[in-house]
Every structure is written in structure tokens, then in C-alpha cells.
């Protein structure tokens, strides 16, 4: 039985990094506490737009991520609200100890934004692809971790991030993102809150980032095959919306987690832990697995590494079969 007749039409919106840059510029006009700290990639992360408006509140510290994060910590300790942005892999992997000791341990109000996350950046290859960033960010005590799905969600996520008191990691991507939300009203984005995009009764697909659009496509394919899928946009990986997750496990009895990330430590791990504790049921996973990707067009990589709507459909059918087999 199909819970909704709404069909998802895939159309591309802006890249989430562009939405981040625009939202930051917008908020920067009124919030004078905001300063931006950059590691010489502001024309990629889009913080350059804020920098153009506020050169006095914008610091390019060169290709030196450790110092960049330490400076952000000092700015926060002095009362500013720093947004420190770089490629997600360099921010999290190069400056991890600084995020841990200089930011997380004293729980400073630093907003860490990683762009170019995931394998969908394509041709630049594995050295530039953050596929472990969510896992690393989740391992920073006190950090909130946000992975918005599209342009509208990213704008809302930036507002939520700036309103949140405490350190935040926000993940954004390079390619144009499929539209999931038409308006901000549709996307009542809050730290710690899931957004249900489709209701369903046979299973729940929990996804974030680009995989939310894949989940919506999968929903329609599954509906044609008589499987009713609930779709949760779990943009807030930490804190997790445990109430929505528990309802999903209890009411649909099967879950698939889809994310553009390694198998270990990301949304899949977080959801599996939650389901195990709240209401155990079969869980399937769609992710990059335990491997680096390679260079190539982003959409071809998404296919090769198993991150398409077809992969979500297969995982859904398997998990529903497990559920029915008891």
C-alpha cells in the first residue's frame, strides 16, 4: 500500500556550498559577531562572498589548517563567532587535534564547515574527497553534526548552526544538489530534528546529503513494486532525532540508511546504535563501504561505488524481505 501519491521529480538546484556561501553572506550583514577563518580556499568554500562584504572580519591564514582552527578557537574564546571553512577532508583530517583540543574540549562556539565532501566531487579524486568527516566530527564531544540535503536545507542549516550555542560541523558539497525542499517553510530545520519527506509503512529510508534525493526516487520505484517506504531526512546526525527514529523502527519495522560516507562511524553507525537501543529491527546500509574512491565524473562514481537510487531500492527490498522472514 502506497502512503502518498506524490512523485519525486528530480531537478537540480544550487550546490550546497553555494547555498552556504549565500546564507553566510546574508547572516553576516546583521550579525557582527561573525568572523570567517579561511585556509586559502575561500573561492571554493564560497566564504569569499562574506569576505568581500567584510574584509575586516575575514582572515585568510594560508594553507595551514592546524593554525586556522587554533585561530578560530582563540577568536571564539574572545567572544567572536568564527566560521572556519575549508575542504572537509583538510579541515577534519589535517586539523583534527586542533578541533579536539582547542575547540571541542573547551566547548568553544566555533562553526566548522567542510565543503567538497563525498565522492561526488568527482575528477579531483580521493585526496580531495572527505568520506570519513562525519565519523570524525561525531567523535568530537559536544559537536553538533549537520549534513543538509539541498540548497534550501543548507540555508536553513546555516541559520540553525549560527543560532546553536556550541561547536558545529556542517558538511556541504560541490556538485549541484537535487531539490528536496521547494521552500524554507517546508524545511523546518532544527539541530536534532529529522524531517519526514514521505510517509510509509513497510520500511523507513534514513538518509542525508545527496542521498535524500536518491531516497525519494527509490520511494517511487518501491511504490510501484508495492512497497511503502517512509523517508526521513536525517540532516542532524548529532544530536540524532531519536524520537523520529524510534517511531520509524516501531511503525515500519525495517530501516535502510543511505549516506555518501564510509561504512564506519557515519549516519549508518549512529542509526544502527539508536535502533539497537530503542527498538531493534533489521537495518540495511547504503554507503561507500571500506574503500577510497577514484577520479572520474561524479555521477559515474556514485554509480560505481553504490550510491544511486537503485542501490537504495535493492537495500530496501532486502531489508523488507528480512523483516518478513522474521
Partner 1 sequence: MGTLREQTVTTPAAPATPTTTPATGVPDAGELAEIARGLRRDILTMTTRAGSGHPSSSMSAIDIVTALYCAGILRHDPKQPQLPDRDRFILSKGHASPALYAILAQQGYFDRGLLDTLRQLGSPLEGHPNMRRLPGVEASTGSLGQGLSIGLGHALHARNGGGRPYRVYVMTGDGEMDEGQIWEAIMAGAFHRVDNLTLIVDHNQAQQSNLLERVLDYRPLAEKLRAFRWHVEEIDGHDMPAILAAFDRVRAVSGQPQAIVAHTVKGKGVSFVEADWTYHGRAVTKEDLPRALAELAG
> Are 27 and 34 within 8 A, CB to CB?
yes
> Which residues ranging from 20 to 39 are in contact with partner 1 (CB under 8 A)?
35
From the CB of 130, what's the least distance to partner 1, in Å? Answer: 21
Query: Which residues form the catalytic set?
Result: 65
Strands 144-146 and 168-171 come out as: parallel
Which of 24, 27, 36, 73 is in the footprint of partner 1 by CB under 8 A?
73
How many residues sit close enough to partner 1 to count as binding (CB under 8 A)?
Answer: 31
- Kindly tell me which of 104 and 161 has the beta carbon lying closer to partner 1: 104
From the CB of 137, what's the least distance to partner 1, in Å? Answer: 18
Q: Per CB under 8 A, which region of 98-106, 123-131, 156-164, 225-233 contacts partner 1?
A: 98-106
SS3 271: helix
Site string for partner 1, 166-205 (x = CB under 8 A): ----------------------------------------
From the CB of 77, what's the least distance to partner 1, in Å? Answer: 7
From the CB of 78, what's the least distance to partner 1, in Å? Answer: 4
The answer to whether residue 67 forms part of the interface with partner 1 (CB under 8 A) is yes
The answer to whether residue 74 forms part of the interface with partner 1 (CB under 8 A) is yes
Q: How crowded is the C-beta side of 275, counted as CA atoms within 13 Å?
A: 23
Which of 20, 50, 59, 181 is in the footprint of partner 1 by CB under 8 A?
59
Question: Cell digits for 143?
Answer: 559537536
Q: Per CB under 8 A, which region of 96-104, 210-218, 256-264, 274-282 contacts partner 1?
A: 96-104
Q: What gap in Å lies between CA 206 and CA 217, rounded to an integer?
A: 13
From the CB of 316, what's the least distance to partner 1, in Å? Answer: 44
> Which residues ranging from 106 to 145 are in contact with partner 1 (CB under 8 A)?
106-107
Helix ranges, the chain (H): 16-28, 42-45, 48-53, 65-77, 88-89, 96-98, 133-138, 151-163, 211-224, 242-252, 267-278, 298-304, 309-325
To which H or E segment does residue 230 belong?
strand 229-233
> Are 119 and 72 within 8 A, CB to CB?
no
Strands 58-60 and 203-207 come out as: unpaired
> Are 173 and 114 within 8 A, CB to CB?
no
Interacting residue ranges for partner 1, rule: CB under 8 A: 35, 56-57, 59, 61-62, 64, 66-80, 82, 97-98, 100-102, 105-107
Amino acid at each position: 500500500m502506497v502512503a502518498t501519491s506524490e512523485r519525486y521529480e528530480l531537478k537540480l538546484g544550487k550546490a550546497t556550498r553555494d547555498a552556504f556561501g549565500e546564507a553566510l553572506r546574508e547572516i553576516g550583514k546583521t550579525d557582527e559577531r561573525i568572523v570567517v577563518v579561511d585556509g586559502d580556499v575561500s573561492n571554493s568554500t564560497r566564504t569569499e562572498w562574506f569576505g568581500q562584504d567584510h574584509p575586516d572580519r575575514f582572515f585568510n591564514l594560508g594553507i595551514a589548517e592546524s593554525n586556522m582552527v587554533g585561530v578560530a578557537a582563540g577568536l571564539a574564546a574572545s567572544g567572536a563567532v568564527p566560521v572556519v571553512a575549508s575542504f572537509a577532508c583538510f579541515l577534519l583530517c589535517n586539523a583534527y587535534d586542533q578541533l579536539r583540543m582547542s575547540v571541542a574540549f573547551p566547548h568553544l562556539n566555533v562553526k566548522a564547515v567542510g565543503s567538497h565532501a563525498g565522492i561526488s566531487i568527482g575528477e579531483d579524486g580521493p585526496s580531495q574527497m572527505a568520506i570519513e568527516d562525519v565519523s570524525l566530527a561525531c567523535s568530537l564531544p559536544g559537536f553538533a553534526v549537520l549534513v543538509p540535503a539541498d540548497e534550501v536545507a543548507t540555508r536553513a542549516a546555516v541559520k540553525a548552526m549560527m543560532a546553536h550555542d556550541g561547536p558545529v560541523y556542517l558538511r556541504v558539497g560541490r556538485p549541484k544538489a537535487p531539490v528536496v525542499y521547494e521552500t524554507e517553510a517546508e524545511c523546518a530545520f532544527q539541530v536534532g530534528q529529522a524531517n519526514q519527506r514521505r510517509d510509509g509503512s513497510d520500511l523507513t529510508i534514513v538518509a542525508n546529503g545527496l542521498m535524500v534525493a536518491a531516497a525519494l526516487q527509490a520511494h517511487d520505484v518501491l511504490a510501484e513494486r508495492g512497497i511503502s517506504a517512509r523517508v526521513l531526512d536525517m540532516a542532524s546526525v548529532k544530536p540524532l532525532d531519536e524520537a523520529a527514529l524510534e517511531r520509524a523502527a516501531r511503525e515500519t519495522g525495517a530501516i535502510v540508511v543511505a549516506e555518501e560516507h564510509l561504512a564506519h562511524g557515519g549516519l549508518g553507525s549512529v542509526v544502527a546504535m539508536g535502533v539497537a537501543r530503542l527498538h531493534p529491527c533489521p537495518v540495511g546500509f547504503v554507503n561507500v563501504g571500506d574503500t577510497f574512491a577514484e577520479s572520474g565524473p561524479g555521477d559515474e562514481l556514485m554509480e560505481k561505488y553504490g550510491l544511486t537510487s537503485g542501490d537504495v531500492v535493492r537495500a530496501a527490498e532486502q531489508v523488507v524481505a528480512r523483516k518478513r522472514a522474521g
